[in-house]
C-alpha cells in the first residue's frame, strides 16, 4: 500500500500534484476475464473487492460507462441503518451494519463512518403504529431498535420543533443507536483502491452496449471499446438496470425515478444525530457543517439526474416548518440521482435466466447503507454460482413465486410508485 510522508504531500501540493500516483490503475481492457462487473458504483466495487479478497478471484474487470463513483454511490445522503421490517431485509442490512465499523481499517481508507444514531420521527398516529410494528419486528429478530417519547426526541434533536403547536406535531419516534452516516465517495474510492491493489481492473469510460450470449450462457460484454469476453458477468447498474437487463433479453419488475438531495451552507454543529421525518424529509449534519437534506422521488419515471424545482420548494418549506431555526439558512447546492425501485421495494440479487449472468440491482432509495453487506454476499453468489443464504430470498424468481419482500415505507422519503 502506497504511503505519503508530510514532505511528499507538500512537494506534490507545490507541483500541482504532478507525479502524484493514481489511487488505482487505468488499464486497457484485457480480451478476457473470469468475471466482468458492469457498473463501478458502490455495489459493483464492493463485489469486486470481496471476489478478490474472500474468493481469490482477481481476474475481474469493473466496467463503467462514466467515471468511477459518478453514479448514486456519491449522490446519496449517506444514511446507514438496518431498521427494516421483514426478517429477510433486517438480516441482510444488518450484515452491512456488522461490516461498517471495521471498513476503514479493512480498506485502509477513511470512510468516515459515524454511528451517531438515527431517529425516525412519527408525525401522526398512523406513523406511530408503523414505527411500533417495525421496532417490535426488529427486536424479535434480535436487532437493536427502541421507541422514543417526544421529550426524548426533543433532547436528542433540540432544533426539531417538538412543541404542541408544531406544524408537523411530533408524536414520538424510533431509535437505532448503531445507525449513522459515512462519507459516500470515500466508500467508492476505498473499495476501488483496495480492489485494484488485489489486481482488479477498473475500466472507466467504457459503456456496455450489449451482453454477449453463446448457447444460452453469457460469454462477455460488448462495449464502446470493443468486446470483452468473460466466464461470468454481473449487472450492477442501479438506475439503469432495466436498460442493461433488456440487453440480455429479460425485463425487470422495477421503475427508475429521479431523486434529489441538497445541502445548506456550512454551520456550527447543531445536530449530532440523523433525523428522518416520515415521508417528509431526512436531515443530518456533515462533518463540514452542511445540513444534508434528503428528498422524495419525482412523481414520474425518468433516467434524468436533474429533478424539479417544485420538489425543492416543498422540501425547503417543510425544513423551515420542522426546523424553524433554518429559516434564514441558504441552500449551497443540490443534485439528483436515478433510483431503481422494484415493485416490492426490495433489491434483486442472484441468478438470471441467462446462465452465469448475475444481477444485483433494485436498491432504490436505500442502497448506500447496504454496500458492504451486498458486496460480500453477492461475491459469494458469483464465486459459488449459488446465492448466499442472506441473498437467497432476494432472487428474481420471487416475482414468479409471489414471495415478495415488501419494504414499502422502509425509506424516510416519499417514493412514488410505492
Residues that bind ligand FAD (CB under 6 A): 38-44, 63-66, 70-73, 75-79, 207-208, 236-240, 244, 259-261, 294, 337, 339, 363-369
Instruction: Please tell me the distance from the alpha carbon of residue 309 to that of residue 363, in angstroms, as a whole number.
Output: 25
Number of H helices, E strands in the chain: 11, 18
Q: Compare residues 171 and 220 and give the one whose CB is closer to ligand FAD.
A: 220
Smallest distance from ligand FAD to CB 409, Å: 15
Cα–Cα separations (whole angstroms), residue 173 to 52, 119, 131, 276, 321? 42, 7, 7, 10, 18
Cell 475481474 belongs to: 60
Q: Compare residues 131 and 261 and give the one whose CB is closer to ligand FAD.
A: 261
Smallest distance from ligand FAD to CB 323, Å: 18
Contact 85, 137 (CB under 8 A): yes
Q: Compare residues 162 and 261 and give the one whose CB is closer to ligand FAD.
A: 261
Smallest distance from ligand FAD to CB 290, Å: 14
- Classify strands 32-38 and 60-63 as parallel, antiparallel or unpaired: parallel
Residue nearest to ligand FAD (CB): 41
Q: Compare residues 70 and 169 and give the one whose CB is closer to ligand FAD.
A: 70
Smallest distance from ligand FAD to CB 235, Å: 9
Smallest distance from ligand FAD to CB 67, Å: 8
Q: Compare residues 41 and 172 and give the one whose CB is closer to ligand FAD.
A: 41
Contact 394, 254 (CB under 8 A): no
Contact 170, 128 (CB under 8 A): no
Smallest distance from ligand FAD to CB 328, Å: 25
Q: Compare residues 297 and 356 and give the one whose CB is closer to ligand FAD.
A: 297
Instruction: Please tell me the distance from the alpha carbon of residue 256 to that of residue 100, in angstroms, as a whole number.
Output: 28
Q: Kindly provide the b/e burial profile for residues 61-84, where b requires at least 16 CB atoms within 10 angstroms of the residue's own CB.
A: bbbbbeebbbbbbbbbbbbbbbbb
- Taking the CA atoms of residue 223, residue 229, residue 232 and residue 238 in that order, the dihedral angle to the nearest 10 degrees is -10
Amino acid at each position: 500500500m502506497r504511503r505519503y510522508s508530510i514532505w511528499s504531500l507538500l512537494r506534490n501540493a507545490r507541483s500541482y500534484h504532478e507525479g502524484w500516483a493514481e489511487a488505482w490503475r487505468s488499464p486497457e481492457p484485457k480480451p478476457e476475464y473470469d468475471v466482468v462487473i458492469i457498473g463501478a458504483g458502490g455495489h459493483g466495487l464492493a463485489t469486486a473487492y470481496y471476489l478478490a479478497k474472500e474468493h481469490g478471484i482477481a481476474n475481474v474487470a469493473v466496467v463503467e460507462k462514466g467515471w468511477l463513483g459518478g453514479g448514486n454511490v456519491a449522490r446519496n445522503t449517506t444514511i446507514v441503518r438496518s431498521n427494516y421490517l421483514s426478517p429477510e431485509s433486517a438480516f441482510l442490512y444488518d450484515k452491512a451494519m456488522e461490516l461498517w465499523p471495521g471498513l476503514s481499517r479493512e480498506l485502509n481508507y477513511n470512510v468516515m463512518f459515524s454511528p451517531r444514531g438515527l431517529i425516525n420521527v412519527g408525525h401522526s398516529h398512523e406513523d406511530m403504529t408503523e414505527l411500533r410494528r417495525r421496532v417490535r419486528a426488529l427486536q424479535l429478530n434480535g436487532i437493536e431498535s427502541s421507541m422514543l417519547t417526544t421529550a426524548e426526541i426533543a433532547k436528542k434533536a433540540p432544533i426539531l420543533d417538538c412543541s404542541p403547536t408544531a406544524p408537523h406535531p411530533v408524536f414520538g419516534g424510533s431509535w437505532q443507536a448503531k445507525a449513522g452516516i459515512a462519507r459516500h465517495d470515500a466508500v467508492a474510492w476505498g473499495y476501488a483502491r483496495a480492489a485494484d491493489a488485489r489486481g482488479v481492473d477498473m475500466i472507466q469510460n467504457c459503456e456496455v452496449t450489449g451482453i454477449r450470449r453463446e448457447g444460452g450462457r453469457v460469454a462477455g460484454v460488448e462495449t464502446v471499446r470493443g468486446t470483452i469476453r468473460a466466464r461470468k458477468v454481473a449487472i450492477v447498474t442501479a438506475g439503469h438496470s432495466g436498460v442493461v437487463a433488456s440487453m440480455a433479453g429479460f425485463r425487470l419488475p422495477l421503475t427508475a425515478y429521479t431523486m434529489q438531495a441538497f445541502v445548506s451552507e456550512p454551520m456550527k454543529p447543531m445536530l449530532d444525530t440523523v433525523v428522518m421525518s416520515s415521508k417528509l424529509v431526512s436531515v443530518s449534519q456533515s462533518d463540514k457543517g452542511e445540513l444534508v437534506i434528503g428528498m422524495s422521488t419525482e412523481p414520474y419515471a425518468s433516467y434524468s439526474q436533474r429533478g424539479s424545482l417544485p420538489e425543492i420548494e416543498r422540501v425547503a418549506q417543510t425544513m423551515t416548518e420542522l426546523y424553524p431555526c433554518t429559516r434564514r439558512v441558504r441552500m449551497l447546492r443540490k443534485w439528483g440521482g436515478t433510483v431503481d425501485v422494484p415493485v416490492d421495494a426490495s433489491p434483486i440479487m442472484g441468478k438470471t435466466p441467462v446462465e452465469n449472468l448475475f444481477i444485483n440491482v433494485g436498491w432504490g432509495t436505500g442502497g448506500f447503507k447496504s454496500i458492504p453487506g451486498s458486496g460480500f454476499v453477492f461475491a459469494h453468489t458469483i464465486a459459488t454460482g449459488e446465492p448466499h443464504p442472506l441473498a437467497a430470498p432476494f432472487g428474481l424468481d420471487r416475482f414468479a413465486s409471489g414471495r415478495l419482500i415488501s419494504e414499502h415505507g422502509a425509506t424516510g422519503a416519499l417514493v412514488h410508485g410505492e
